[in-house]
Structure 1
Amino acid sequence: MKKVYYLLFGIILTFSAMSAIIYNNQQPKALESITFFPIDPKVSFTAFDTSLKPLKKNIVLWQIKSNLDRHAYLRQDAGMLYSNGRLIGRLGGWKQHTASLTQEKRVPVTASSFLQAFTFHHAELHERGGQIFSAQAMSQDHLYLIKQNADNFISFRSPNTTNQSSWKDRLDEQTERMLRYSWNKAVRHYAIHLKDYQAYPLNEFSQKASDTFPGFTKDETAKMIGRLWEGLYKNYFLSITKQDGSKADPTGSTIPLILLAKDKTHLLVLTETVKGESILLRQMIGDAD
C-alpha cells in the first residue's frame, strides 16, 4: 500500500512541476523587454496620463493611467520619476488581454524638489495569421515641491508669486547645471561628434513625441520612439547595462539625453549612474536593423 502511495505522490509532484513549467512558459516576458512591432494605424489610446499630485505634507501621489480603444494581447506602461534631475522611482505595470492600466505610488519627498515624471504607454496586438503590431504613446508631468519648514511644503506647476518664481529659477538652474555637466562629461568620454546628432533631453523628447522630429517622417518618428523605449526598458529601466556588460541599479541616475543620428540609422542615450559613471547606450532605428 505504501508503494502505491509513494507512486501516486510522485506522479502528483511530476504533474505539478510540469504544470508550473507550462504555465510559466505561457506567461509573457513583460518584465524582460518591451518589443517594438510595426504600428497599427487603426489602433489608438483613447486616454493616457501621468500626474503628480501633492497630498499632505511631503507626500506626492504619482499616478499613471492609460486606456486603449480595444483589448490588447499585452498592455504595458513604464514610468520614471526624477527629482532634481536624478531617478527616484519606477512604475512598470503590465497586463494581458486588457485595454486599461492604472498604477500609483505615494512618494515621500524630504527636500525642495523639481519633480519630473515620464511614461511610455505600450500595447502589443496579436492579429489573426500571426501578425503582431504595436500601439504607443508618451505622457509626462512635473511639480515643484518646496520645503518651508519641517511640517510645511508648498507645491506648484507654474509659479504664482515672486517667492515661487525664485524657487523655480533656483531648482531649474541647479538641475540644468548638473545635467549639462553630466552629459558633457559623457560626450567627451565617448568622443561623440555632436554635429552628427539632434540632441533632446528626455523631457523635451517626450514633449515632441506627438509631433514629428526634424528630418523624420511621421512613420519614422513612431519607429524611432518605439525603438528608443525598447532599448531604454531593457538597458536602463530594469537595470543599466554598462560597457563591460555588467548591470547597475538605475536609481540615482541622471535624466537621459537622447541623441538622434541625422542619418536616421541609430540613436544614442547618455546618462550617468549614481556613482558618477558615464553610460552610453546605442539603439538601431534605421532599415539596417
Structure 2
Amino acid sequence: MKKYVLVLIVVSTFLLLYLWEDDAAPAITYFPEDATVDFDQTSTVLKLISETTRDSYEMLWKSQSVSEQKLYLRQDASLLYKNGQLMGIRSKWKENTDLISIKEKFSGEDSNFFQSISFHHGEVHYPDDQIKSIHQMTYDQLYVIDSPGTRLKSFKSAADDAEKEWAELLNHTTEQQLKHHWKQLMEHYTIDENAYWKIPLSDLNKFNNEPLPSLTQEQTNQIMGQLWEGLYKNYILKLSNTDAKKVNSFIPLILFDKNKDHLLVLFEWNGKKERLIQQYPDKFSN
C-alpha cells in the first residue's frame, strides 16, 4: 500500500511539473519597438529534398533568425500550409540567446502548393524594468509537381510555360477553396466585407516594409506586433497543442478596418468558427 501511494505521489508530481513547464512557456508579447537592435538574419525555407517512393517525397521546412546580440528572450513561430490547409505549427523560445532555429522534415505526395510564414520576435530588457521588442516576418513558398508521366520537380516561381500552367492550376484550386471558406466565415459573423481590407495570414510578411493603407510604417509595425501576440495566444498555442493530423483548418483571413479602428481575424478549426478582435490605439484614428 505504501509503495502504491509513493508511486502515485511521484507520478502526480511529474504531471504537475510537466503541466507547469508547459504553461511556463512565455507568450509572444508586444513591447514598443527598439530602434537600436535588429536582426542580422531571418529566413523561412521550404525545400524538396528527395523522392522517397514512387508515390511520395521528402520535404524540408525551416525557420531561422539571428539577432545582432543575445537578448533576454528570443521566440519564433512558424506555420505551414498545403493548398491553403494547415499542415503544422511550430514555435520555439530561448532565454539569453541570439539564435532560434526550427527545422523539420515531412513527407508529401501528389502535386501541391506549400506556403510557410514565420514570426521572429525578441525582447530587449533594460534597467528600471524597461522592456522593448523587435520582430520581423518571413515567408517562403514551393510548388511541387508529382504527376504520372513527369519527373518530380519543384519551383518557387514559374520559369517556363509548363511551370506557369501548374502554378495557375494549383493557385486556382487553393484560392477557390479559401474564398469559399472565408465567405462562410464572413456570412456567419455578418461582416460587411466592403468595410475592410482583406489580407490572408500568409501575405502579412509584405508589411515588413509596406505600411497598411492610411497608416505609417511605425503604426503598421505596432499593429503587426500586437496581431501576432493575439495570434500566438489564440491560434498558434491552441492548434500547436493538437495533433496536426486531427486538425482541419485553413489560412486565417485578416480584415483591416478601413476606418483605422480595429482588425478582425477569422479562422476555423475542426468546424469551430473563431473571430478575434484587435482594437487599434486611439491615436491611429486621428
Please give the alpha-carbon distance, in whole angstroms, between the structure 2 residues aligned to 1:129 and 1:35.
18
Change beyond 3 A, Cα 1:210–1:71? same
Matches within 5 A, 1:260-271: 260-271=256-267
SS of the residue corresponding to residue 174 of structure 2 reads: helix
**Which has the larger displacement, 150-159 or 255-264?**
150-159
Equivalent residues in 2 for 1:85-164, closer than 5 Å: 85-149=84-148, 153-164=152-163
How much has 1:150 moved relative to structure 2?
10
User: What SS class does the counterpart of residue 186 from structure 2 fall into?
Assistant: helix
Q: Which residue matches 1:10?
A: none
Letter of the 1:270 counterpart? L
State the alpha-carbon separation in 2 of the partners of residues 119 and 71 from structure 1.
20
2:54 corresponding residue in structure 1: none
Under a length normalisation based on structure 2, what TM-score does the superposition of the two structures give? Answer: 0.83
Q: What are the within-5 Å matches in structure 2 for residues 38-49 of structure 1?
A: 38-49=32-43
Asked if the contact 1:73–1:97 (Cα under 8 Å) also holds between the matched residues in 2, the reply is yes
Q: Distance in 1 between matches of 2:170 and 2:222?
A: 34
CA distance in 2, matches of 1:213, 1:114: 27
Report if the CA contact (8 A) 1:50-1:117 is conserved: yes
Instruction: Write out per-residue CA displacement over residues 164-197 of structure 1, whole angstroms, 9 at most, x where no aligned residue.
Output: 2221111100000000011111111101122322
Is the contact made by 2:110 and 2:147 (CA closer than 8 Å) also made in structure 1? no
- Runs (5+) with no aligned partner, structure 1: 1-12, 241-246
Alignment correspondent of 1:180? 179
CA contact 1:84–1:175 (8 Å) conserved in 2: yes
Amino acid at match of 1:132: I
Tell me the distance in 2 between the aligned counterparts of 1:225 and 1:201: 13
Distance in 1 (alpha carbons) for counterparts of 2:76 and 2:123: 12
Counterparts of 1:54-93 in structure 2, within 5 Å, are: 54-57=48-51, 58-93=57-92
How far the C-alpha of 1:53 sits from its partner, in A, is: 1.2
CA separation of 1:37/1:152 partners in 2, compared to 1, >3 Å: closer, same or farther?
Answer: same
- Comparing 113-122 with 39-48, greater Cα deviation is found at 39-48
Gaps of 5+ in 2: 1-8, 52-56
Residue aligned with 1:238, SS? helix
Q: Deviations over 1:205-234 (max 9, x none)?
A: 222332211111122111100111001111
Corresponding residue for residue 232 of structure 1: 231
1:151 deviates by: 10
1:87–1:50 Cα change, 3 Å:
same
Which residue is 1:284 aligned to?
Answer: 279
Give the superposition deviation at 1:134.
Answer: 0.6
2:58–2:108 Cα contact (<8 Å) kept: yes
Q: Please tell me whether Structure 1 or Structure 2 has the larger radius of gyration of its CA atoms.
A: 1
Between the aligned partners of 2:27 and 2:149, the Cα distance in structure 1 is 41
How many Å separate the matches in 1 of 2:124 and 2:22?
A: 13
Q: Is 1:258–2:258 an aligned residue pair?
A: no
Q: Over the residues paired in the alignment, what is the CA RMSD in angstroms? A: 2.6
> How many residues end up aligned between the 2 structures?
261
State the shift of 1:198 in Å.
1.7
How far does residue 248 in structure 1 lie from its aligned partner after superposition? 7.4
Identity over aligned residues, as a percent?
36
CA–CA distance in 2 between the matches of 1:63 and 1:216?
A: 32
2:29 to 32, 35, 52: 35
How far the C-alpha of 1:92 sits from its partner, in A, is 0.5
1:252: Cα distance to partner?
Answer: 3.0
- What TM-score comes out, normalization by structure 1 length? 0.82
Of 215-224 and 169-178, the range deviating more from structure 2: 215-224
Q: 1:55 is aligned with what amino acid?
A: I
Q: Retained in 2: the 8 A contact 1:30–1:94?
A: no
User: Using the alignment, how far apart are the partners of 2:126 and 2:185 within structure 1?
Assistant: 43
